[in-house]
């Protein structure tokens, strides 16, 4: 499958979701048995842990189709990067999508740090620290400050995956076997906007 074919599957699935067409994926014993022998997802998907952002439902996908990496704020640390690289190098996914979403709590928290010098308990401060540069960069953009910061956070992660990662990621992109794109999910409508494509 090419990167463009993989993206077309996601777009078509999200369009069905927007039409309220509930897709029932194959959850049969035969499907589970075939996946027990190995997986071949067509997309590595980096998104927020937010419970309102369920990747399989947004795109009408089933077992074994999406390799999902989730954390609050859809950032990429060493563990997430290793997971993405595994999906590309070992599973051969042709597409990596980084998806931010409307009203992201992690980005709101990072904005509070920048605007109010807020502090958060436990490991939350450390978790949102990688988002702060995106918040700073988005401050001068016109429009909704939170949406701008969420999209800038996605752009920063996408940029790292496109240009600053290991040859495991860079070589397949140079050979046109892999695309990394950024997207934004609108909670109210259910629409996914693939706004950062190559």
pLDDT single digits (tens) 121-155: 999 999 999 999 999 999 989 999 999 999 999 99
The answer to whether domain 3-196 has CATH 3.40.50.720 is no
Distance in angstroms between the alpha carbons of the first and the last residue of the chain? 17
Whole-angstrom distance, CA of residue 188 vs CA of residue 21: 17
DSSP 143: S
pLDDT of residue 197: 94
Question: Taking a C-beta distance cutoff of 8 angstroms, is the pair 1, 42 a contact?
Answer: yes
- Predicted TM-score (pTM) of the model is 0.95
Torsion-angle region of residue 178: left (phi > 0), alpha (psi -120 to 50) or beta? beta
Query: Where in the chain are the domains?
Result: 3-196
What's the mean pLDDT when you consider all of the chain?
96
């Amino acid at each position: 499958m090419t990167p463009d074919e993989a993206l077309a599957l996601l777009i078509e699935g999200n369009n069905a979701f927007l039409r309220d067409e509930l897709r029932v994926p194959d959850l049969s014993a035969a499907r589970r048995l075939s996946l027990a022998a190995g997986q071949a997802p067509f997309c590595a998907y980096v998104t927020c842990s937010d419970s309102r952002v369920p990747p399989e439902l947004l795109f009408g996908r089933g077992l074994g189709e999406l390799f999902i990496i989730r954390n609050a704020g859809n950032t990429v640390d060493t563990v997430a990067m290793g997971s993405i690289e595994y999906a590309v190098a070992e599973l051969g996914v042709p597409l990596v999508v980084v998806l931010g979403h409307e009203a992201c709590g992690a980005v709101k928290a990072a904005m509070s740090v920048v605007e109010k010098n807020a502090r958060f308990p436990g490991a939350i401060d450390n978790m949102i620290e990688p988002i702060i540069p995106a918040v700073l960069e988005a401050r001068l953009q016109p429009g909704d400050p939170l949406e701008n910061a969420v999209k800038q956070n996605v752009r920063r992660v996408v940029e790292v995956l496109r240009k600053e990662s290991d040859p495991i990621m860079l070589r397949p992109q140079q050979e046109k076997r892999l695309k990394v794109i950024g997207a934004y999910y609108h909670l109210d409508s259910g629409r996914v906007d693939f706004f950062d494509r190559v």
